[in-house]
Amino acid sequence: MKSLAELAAIREKMQGKVVLREGSGDIRVVVGMATCGIAAGARPVLSAFVEEINNRDLAGKVTVSQTGCIGICQFEPVVEIYEADKEKVTYVKMTPDKAKEVIEKHIIGGKVIDEYTVSNI
Amino acid sequence: MKELSLNILDIAQNSIKAGADTISVILTETQDTLTICITDNGCGMKPDFLEAVTNPFTTTRTTRKVGLGIPLFKLAAEQTDGSLTITSKHESDFPVDHGTVVTAVFRTQHMDFTPLGDIASTLTILIQGSPDIHWIYTHTTPWGDVSLDTQELKAVLGDVPLDTFEVIAWISEYIKEQYSVFNK
């Protein structure tokens, strides 16, 4: 069984890393989590982003946050990617698989996946 | 909504937006009922807004004139012959003890009962999104209980944030393990 002692071990392990996270947030992934987003499947999309960002060791560079209704409910789940000095990219009709692809090609590779963006609808 | 845990995620967003610093999600189950009670100490609603809040054309959102969160939750309860009630105290009238309580009762044996689904995902997403809020979760059933209190976790974690991936992953497993003990 999971115990609080395990959590204490995580604390020991993480304490050094916390400092590294201070300057984080070069790239911001924002997932729409209003009723429309949740009903359309935003929860597994958000989980996929959080998980994959950790798997690829991007936590220091990429933050994942949640927002309310972005205003294009028919295209939910909607994900916005903000990057300093770049134009915001809005991905629509997202799935956990597409989320992994966005991390691979856009966040790591630096190339926007045009076919998933709102401008391509 | 395919799972009640998605409704919970949705309704709790209202509590977050109301500026609550403590939100509790309390599930109480009997042999044939499930009561979901979401309580917050946010700004609350004024009586006229409260009265209109189950109407889909009442919303705080600015992008659209409809709000379906509470109507959908109400529908999910009523389609099982259950009910939804909301009580609220607005901060202008109750400067100290303001907040909102949303209570939904479901008949679990009813054909149209929506399963709870992935509550661990709902909780981790809520905590990841608002790590500064004090989250309390309990699910009491005749077969066993599940609970989580982020204040207790914070006491152990010290200055390691709750939204650290390792912590979120631990919370998810912690919840799932508690359920696995008595899962029917």
Over residues B126-154, the pLDDT tens digits come to 999 999 999 999 999 999 999 999 999 99
Using a pLDDT cut of 70, give the percent of chain A over it.
91
Asked if A19 is an interface residue toward chain B (Cβ–Cβ < 8 A), one would say: no
Asked whether the beta carbons of residue A69 and residue B64 sit closer than 8 angstroms, the reply is yes
For residue B50, give the CATH number of its domain.
3.30.565
Q: How confident is the model at residue B76 (pLDDT cuts 50, 70, 90)?
A: very high
Domain of residue B139, residue span: 4-182
- Where are the domains positioned within chain A? 23-120
Per-residue pLDDT for B52 more than 80?
A: yes
Superfamily of domain A23-120: Glutaredoxin (3.40.30.10)
Per-residue pLDDT for A22 more than 70?
A: no
User: Within a 10 A sphere around the Cβ of B162, how many other Cβ atoms?
Assistant: 19
A contacts of B153 (beta carbons < 8 Å): 4, 7
Name the domain count of chain B.
1
Q: Are A81 and A102 in contact (CB under 8 A)?
A: yes
Asked whether the beta carbons of residue B174 and residue A2 sit closer than 8 angstroms, the reply is yes
Residue A110 C-alpha, separation from nearest chain B C-alpha, in angstroms:
24
d(CA B118, CA B140): 16
Q: Are B154 and B162 in contact (CB under 8 A)?
A: yes
**What phi and psi, each to the nearest 5 degrees, are found at residue B137?**
-130, 130
Q: What is the ipTM of this complex?
A: 0.88
